[in-house]
Amino acid sequence: MNLVVLQNWLNNVSFAVLFVTMLIYWGGTAFPRIPFLPILGTTGMVIANLCIATLLGARWLEAGYFPLSNLYESLFFLTWGITTIHLVAESMSRSRLVGAVTAPLAMGCTAFAALFLPAGMQSAEPLVPALKSNWLMMHVSVMMLSYATLMVGSLLAIAFLIVTRGQTIELRGSSVGTGGYREHSRLRRAVEPVAIASAIGSNGSGNTMVLNLETNQKSAISQVASLSPQRLNLAETLDNISYRIIGLGFPLLTIGIIAGGVWANEAWGSYWSWDPKETWALITWLVFAAYLHSRITKGWQGRRPAILATTGFVVVWICYLGVNLLGKGLHSYGWFL
Amino acid sequence: MKTINLFFQRFFKTEVLPLLANLQLAILLLLAIAVFSVTGTVIEQGKSLAFYQANYPEHPALFGFLTWNLISTLGLDHVYRTWWYLALLILLGATLGACTSTRQLPALTAARRWKFYDQPRQFEKLALSAELETGSLQSLAALLEKRRYRIFHERNFLYARKGLVGRVGPIVVHISMLLILLGAIWGAMTGFMALEDFPSGETFKISHIVEAGPWFRSQLPSNLLVRVNRFWIDYTPEGGIDQFYSDLSILDSQEHELKHKTIHVNDPLRYQGLTLYQTNWGIDAVQYQVNNSPILQGKMAPLKIGGKNRTWGTWVPTKPDSSEGVFLMAQDLQGTLRIYDASGKEVSTVRTGMSTEVNGVTLTIIKVVGKTGLQIKADPSISIVYTGFGLLMLGVVMSYVSHSQVWALQQEGHLYIGGKTNRAQVAFERELLDILDLLDQEPKEQISELSLTLSNEVVKRS
Ligand code: HEM
C-alpha cells in the first residue's frame, strides 16, 4: 500500500479509536457494574498504541529518518508515549480510573495533530543540518517520552485530588519509606474477615480496592480473627501509582536533558546556554524534584505534593508547546539559517 | 583565637548545618530557582538598555510595575548571571552538601543495618503483615528467592530484602549535582569562548573573545594560528542546505601544521583543550570582471531585509569613475546572483562563470567567496561536568528502585510474615499478598516442629 495513504488512514483511525476509548473509560467509571468495559478500554488503548506506532514507522520508512522533525510527528510520538505509559500505569494499579484521565489526554493530542494542524504542517520535511545527529534522536525521543510519562503521572495526581477532595489523607510511599506502617485508626487486628486469596489477582480490570467480603469463608486466615494485611485504598493506590510514574518520568527527563546538553556541547560547544526551551526543561525538572522531596517532608503531607504535581502538568505543557509559541531560541527547529 | 574557632565550629554544627539540611528549605530553593528562571524566558535577555526603555516604559508600566528601570536594577535583563541567581544556586549546593552528609549517609548506614523480628507483636506495626497457620520458613524462603530477594535465615527467624541500591541512588544523585555545580563554577572561571569568521585561505589568531572567566588566559595558547583551507556548503537537490564544511589547520607560530581536519556541524575539531565548532557562515566577497578588466573583488556586506533568508550585497561600478554601477546580491553559495540597478530595480540574474550585459558593459562573475563562522571554546571543567552527568543519570535510575524488606517468624504453630517497602507500595502489596496466598494454599502441618530443623542451605547461600 502507498505509505502516504496508509498514514492518512492510520491518522484518522487513531483519533477515532481514542475517542471511543475515552467514552468507554468514562462509561466504565460512571457505571462500574457494566462488565467488559474495562477490557474494552484497555483493548482500545492497545489498538491506538499500535496504530500510532505503525504510523510513525511508515513515516520513518518514507522520510528515512526518525519521525520527530515537526509538531505533527512529535504530537503523535507523544500520544504513543502516553498510551504506552497508560498501559504501564493501568497494569500497575489495576484501576479503570487511570484510563478515565489518560484517554482524554491522548485523544486531545491526536485531535490537535490530526484535525487542527494545517496540512502543510503535517507532511514530513527534510532535516536542517543542526538536527542531523544521533544525539538528536536520543535527546528528543527521551524528552518526549519523559513528557508523556510526567503527564500521565501528574494526571493521576489530579485524579487523586479529585478522589480525596475534602479529605485529609496521609501519604504512603516515599524514598524514606514512612508508608509501611499500620495506621492507628485502622484496627491492628482486623476484625472483619478479609480474604487474601480473593482480593488479589482476581479481576485484572480494576476494583482492587473493593475487598471482597463474600468469598472468603473458607480462607484459613479469615476463620481466626488474626493479624491480616492492611490494604491500600483507592486514594492511596492512585497516589502511589502517580508517584511511581512520576518517579519513572524524572530519570527520563534527567537523561533527556543531559543528552541534550552533551549534544549541544558536541555540536556548538556549550552544554548549557539558557535558551528558553532548555530553561523550561530545567524548570520542569526542578518542579518535579520539588515534588519528590515534598513527599518526604513533614510539613508537606497530604494533598500538597499532588498539588505540586498538578502544577507540574501545566509546566510540562509550557515546556513542550508554550516555548515554541514564544517562537524564539535554538529549538524552533532550523535556527541555523 | 582557638576558642573563637571552636565557637564557630560549634555554631556551624548545631545551627547552620541543620538549617541547611532542612528539606523545606531545599524545596523552597528548588521552586524559587524555577520561578526566577521563568522570568528569564519571559523578559528578553541581553538586549540594549534602549530596547528595554522602548518595550517597558514607565507609563504605563506593564502589569503596573514592570518598567525598564526595575528590570535593569534587578538585573532581569541577564537573570542567569545576576548575583542573586548565582547565590541561589550556591545555596542549593550548600544544602545539598549539608543534606548528604548529615542526613543521607547516616540514613544509608541505618538502612543497611537490620535485625530479625523475634516477637509476634513486632509484626503488628507493619501494614502488610499476617499470621498464617500453613506454610513454612523454607517455602517462604523459596518464594522470596524466586522474587530475587536476598535472604537471611536463622533458627525460626527470617529476614529478606531487595533493592538496597534504591537507598544509595539519592546519595549518588546529590553528589553528582554537587559535582555539576562545582564543575560549572570552575568552567565559568577558567573557560572562554571566541567567535571568528574568515574566508577560505585566511590564517588568523584567536582574538574575538566574547565570553571569558577571570582565569581564561591559561587556556589560550598565545602562539597558535588557525588556517581556513576551504569552506563550502553542500546543497540538497532541492536547493536546501545539506551541510556546512570547513577544512581547518592548526598551525604553530612558524606556520607548521599541528593538526588538520574538515569539520562540520556536530563534528568539531579538538586540539589541546580547544574545540572549534562550525556554527555560522556568510558570504565574504564576489570576484568579477567588467569587460576585460583584471579580476576584481568586491566585499559582500550583510543586508537587513525582511524575511528569513539572509542576503549579502555589494556595489559594482560599471564606469571607471564609479559614477554608475549595479548592486550584486547573493543569498547562498550556489552561484546565482541578482543584479539591481541604482534605483533598486531588479534587472538581471547571473550565475558564476557566466556573463551578462548591464549598463552597456559585460559583467562576468568569477566566483562567490564564502566565509566560515567558527566558535572556539575552551572549558577545562568538561570532564568534571560529564562525570557529574554520568553519575546523575546512574543515580536517578537507581533512585527508582524500591527497597523492600520482609520479616518472618515461626512460633507455636503460627507463621508471622510482615514486610514493607519505601516506594512501590502497590507493587509490593501485590507481591506480598501473592506470597501469602501461595503459602495459604499449602497443606496445614505442625510447622512449629519444622522450624527447628531448618536446612542450612539457605543460610549459606545468602
Ligand atoms: C537539584 C537538586 C536535587 C535533586 C535533583 C535531588 C534529587 C533527589 C532524588 C531523585 C531523590 C529520590 C527521590 C525519591 O525517590 O522519591 C532525592 C531524595 C532525597 N533528597 Fe534530594 N535532590 C536535590 C536536592 C536536595 C537537597 C538540597 C536536599 C536537602 C536539603 C535533598 C534531600 C533529599 C533527601 C533527604 C532525600 C531522601 C533520601 C533517601 O531516600 O535516601 N535533596 N533527591
Distance from CA of A16 to the nearest CA of B (A): 33
Task: Say whether B398 sits in a helix, a strand or coil.
Answer: helix
Residues B269 and B297 in one domain: no
Judged by CB atoms closer than 8 Å, whether chains meet at A272 and B184 is answered as yes
Most confident of A80-89, B32-41, B253-262, B419-428: A80-89
Residue of A nearest to B275 (CA): A269
Domain of B303, in residue numbers: 285-364
Distance A289 CA to ligand 1 centre (A): 7
Ligand 1 pocket mutation pick from B30, B90, B99, B393 by most atoms within 8 angstroms of CB: B99
Question: Strand pairing partners for B274?
Answer: B271, B378
Residues B96 and B143 in one domain: no
Asked if B264 reaches chain A (Cβ–Cβ under 8 Å), the answer is: yes
Helix (H) or strand (E) segment spanning residue B99:
helix B83-99
Are A63 and A69 in contact by the 8 Å Cβ rule? The answer is: yes
Are A282 and A257 in contact by the 8 Å Cβ rule? The answer is: yes
**What is the per-residue pLDDT across A86-129, written as a single tens digit (0 to 9) for each?**
999 999 988 888 999 999 999 999 999 888 887 777 777 776 66
pLDDT value at residue A208? 29
* In a domain? residue B171: no
* In a domain? residue B114: no
Contacts of B461 (CB under 8 A, 6+ apart): B151
pLDDT value at residue A211? 32
pLDDT value at residue A336? 28
Residues B305 and B360 in one domain: yes
Which of B35, B240, B154, B235 lies closest to A280 in space, CA to CA?
Answer: B35
State which ligand 1 atom lies nearest to the alpha carbon of A292. Answer: 16
Task: Say whether A76 sits in a helix, a strand or coil.
Answer: helix
* In a domain? residue B145: yes
State which ligand 1 atom lies nearest to the alpha carbon of B99. Answer: 29
* In a domain? residue B202: yes
Pairing between strand B128-132 and B257-264? unpaired
pLDDT value at residue B305? 64
**What is the per-residue pLDDT across B136-192, written as a single tens digit (0 to 9) for each?**
888 999 999 999 999 999 888 999 999 999 999 999 999 999 999 999 988 888 888
Percent of chain A with pLDDT over 70: 76
Which of A242, A240, A251, A243 lies closest to A293 in space, CA to CA?
Answer: A243
Residue reference for cell 607560530: B253
pLDDT value at residue A129? 64
Distance from CA of A13 to the nearest CA of B (A): 33
Please give the angle made by the CA atoms of B259, B206 and B314, to the nearest 5 degrees.
Answer: 105
pLDDT value at residue A199? 35
Pairing between strand B361-378 and B414-421? unpaired
pLDDT value at residue B320? 79
Instruction: Decide if pLDDT at B391 tops 90.
Output: yes
Best B45, B104, B266 residue to mutate vs chain A (most A CBs within 10 Å): B266
Distance from CA of B172 to the nearest CA of A (A): 13
Task: Look up residue A215 and give its amino acid.
Answer: T
* In a domain? residue B169: no
Pairing between strand B269-271 and B225-235? unpaired
CA distances from B366 to B218, B293, B334 (A): 44, 12, 13
Contacts of A215 (CB under 8 A, 6+ apart): A195, A198
Distance A77 CA to ligand 1 centre (A): 31
Judged by CB atoms closer than 8 Å, whether chains meet at B396 and A251 is answered as yes
Residues B199 and B60 in one domain: no
- The full DSSP string for B229-249 is EEEEEEE-TTS-EEEEEEEEE
Please give the angle made by the CA atoms of B312, B313 and B315, to the nearest 5 degrees.
Answer: 165
Are B82 and B75 in contact by the 8 Å Cβ rule? The answer is: yes
Pairing between strand B203-205 and B225-235? antiparallel
* In a domain? residue B182: no
| pLDDT: which is higher, B17 or A21 | A21
Judged by CB atoms closer than 8 Å, whether chains meet at B265 and A93 is answered as no
| pLDDT: which is higher, B3 or B179 | B179
10 Å Cβ neighbour count for A83? 31
Distance from CA of A256 to the nearest CA of B (A): 10
Residues B378 and B276 in one domain: yes
Model-level pTM greater than 0.90? no
Judged by CB atoms closer than 8 Å, whether chains meet at B133 and A326 is answered as no
Instruction: Decide if pLDDT at B307 tops 90.
Output: no
Distance CA A154, CA A144 (A): 15
Q: Does the interface ipTM go beyond 0.90?
A: no
**What is the per-residue pLDDT across B99-142, written as a single tens digit (0 to 9) for each?**
888 888 888 888 888 889 988 888 888 888 888 888 888 899 99
Grade residue A182 by pLDDT with cuts at 50, 70 and 90.
Answer: low
What rounded mean pLDDT belongs to chain B? Answer: 86
* In a domain? residue B369: no
Distance CA B92, CA B101 (A): 14
* Lowest mean pLDDT segment, chosen from A109-113, A145-149, B293-297: B293-297
pLDDT value at residue B447? 46
Residue B50, all three cell numbers: 534602549
pLDDT value at residue A183? 59
Task: Say whether B252 sits in a helix, a strand or coil.
Answer: coil
Residue of A nearest to B245 (CA): A129
* In a domain? residue B33: yes
Task: Look up residue A59 and give its amino acid.
Answer: R
Which CATH number belongs to the domain containing residue B413 in this structure? 3.30.160.110
pLDDT value at residue A210? 30
Are B209 and B196 in contact by the 8 Å Cβ rule? The answer is: no
pLDDT value at residue A198? 34
Residue A232, all three cell numbers: 491500600
> B262: burial class by Cβ within 10 Å (0-12, 13-18, 19+)?
middle
Long-range pairs for B449-456: beta carbons < 8 A, 24 or more residues apart? B450/B136, B450/B137, B450/B138, B450/B410, B451/B136, B451/B137, B451/B155, B451/B156, B451/B410, B451/B411, B452/B155, B452/B156, B454/B137, B454/B138, B454/B153, B454/B155, B454/B156, B455/B138
Best B76, B238, B426 residue to mutate vs chain A (most A CBs within 10 Å): B426
pLDDT value at residue B60? 79
Which one of B26, B236, B437 has the shortest CB-CB distance to A196?
Answer: B437
Residues B267 and B291 in one domain: no
Residue B62, all three cell numbers: 506593564
Residues B258 and B298 in one domain: no
pLDDT value at residue A224? 38
Task: Look up residue A259 and give its amino acid.
Answer: A
Residues B381 and B431 in one domain: no
Residue B30, all three cell numbers: 528548588
**What is the per-residue pLDDT across B328-365, written as a single tens digit (0 to 9) for each?**
998 888 888 899 988 888 888 888 888 888 888 899 99
Instruction: Decide if pLDDT at A332 tops 60.
Output: no
* Lowest mean pLDDT segment, chosen from A101-105, B70-74, B237-241: B237-241
Asked if B165 reaches chain A (Cβ–Cβ under 8 Å), the answer is: no
Residues of B in contact with A258 (CB under 8 A): 389, 392-393
Residues B16 and B100 in one domain: yes
pLDDT value at residue B93? 93
Residues B97 and B205 in one domain: no
pLDDT value at residue B224? 87
| Omega before B120 within 30 of 0, i.e. cis | no
Per the structure, the count of domains in chain B is 4
Grade residue A330 by pLDDT with cuts at 50, 70 and 90.
Answer: very low
Distance A154 CA to ligand 1 centre (A): 19
Judged by CB atoms closer than 8 Å, whether chains meet at A266 and B268 is answered as yes
- Tell me the average pLDDT across B383-395: 96
Residues B238 and B294 in one domain: no
- The full DSSP string for B107-171 is HHHHHH------SHHHHHTBSEEEEESS--HHHHHHHHHHTT-EEEEETTEEEEEE-THHHHHHH
Residue B16, all three cell numbers: 547552620
Residues B261 and B196 in one domain: yes
* Lowest mean pLDDT segment, chosen from A186-195, B192-201, B301-310: A186-195
